[in-house]
Amino acid sequence: MKILVKVVALSVAAFAIAGSAHAAGGKRMTVTGEVIDTWCYLTEIMYPEGTAHHRCAVWCAAGGIPVGIKDDDGKVYMVLKMESDTTNVVNPAILTIQTHKVTVNGDHYRRDGIDYLLVSKVVEDAGIVNQTHQKHGIQP
Partner 1 sequence: MRRILYACLGVFLLGVGPALAADEWGLAGEKTARFEAKVVDVLCELTGDCLAKCGGGKRQLGLLNSAGKLTLPLKNQTLFSGAALELIDFCGKQVIADGLMITNRGYTFFALQFVREAPDGKWRKANRFLGKWAKANGIPANSDKVDQWYEHDPNVKRVLAKDGKLGLGLAADRAYDKTQK
What are the helix (H) ranges across 76-136?
92-95, 133-136
Q: Does 15 bind partner 1 (CB under 8 A)?
A: no
| CA distances in angstroms from 18 to 6, 22, 28, 116, 135, listed in the order given | 18, 8, 20, 21, 52
Over the range 112-128, which residues count as b (16 or more CB within 10 Å of their CB) and which as e? Answer: eeebbbbbbebeeeeeb
- Contacting partner 1 (CB under 8 A), which of 32, 55, 93, 120? 55
- Contacting partner 1 (CB under 8 A), which of 1, 2, 4, 44? 44
- Contacting partner 1 (CB under 8 A), which of 66, 69, 101, 106? 66
Q: Does 51 bind partner 1 (CB under 8 A)?
A: yes
Q: Does 86 bind partner 1 (CB under 8 A)?
A: yes
User: What phi and psi, each to the nearest 5 degrees, are found at residue 12?
Assistant: -60, -45
Q: Does 19 bind partner 1 (CB under 8 A)?
A: yes
The count of C-alpha atoms lying within 13 angstroms of the C-alpha of 116, restricted to the half-sphere facing its C-beta, is 12
Tell me the C-alpha distance between 5 and 60, whole Å. 55
- Contacting partner 1 (CB under 8 A), which of 31, 34, 69, 88? 88
Applying CB under 8 A, the residues found at the interface with partner 1 are 19, 21-23, 25-26, 38-46, 51, 54-56, 58-60, 62-66, 74, 76, 78, 80-81, 86-92, 95-96, 98-99, 107, 109, 111-114, 116, 118, 128, 131, 133-134, 138, 140
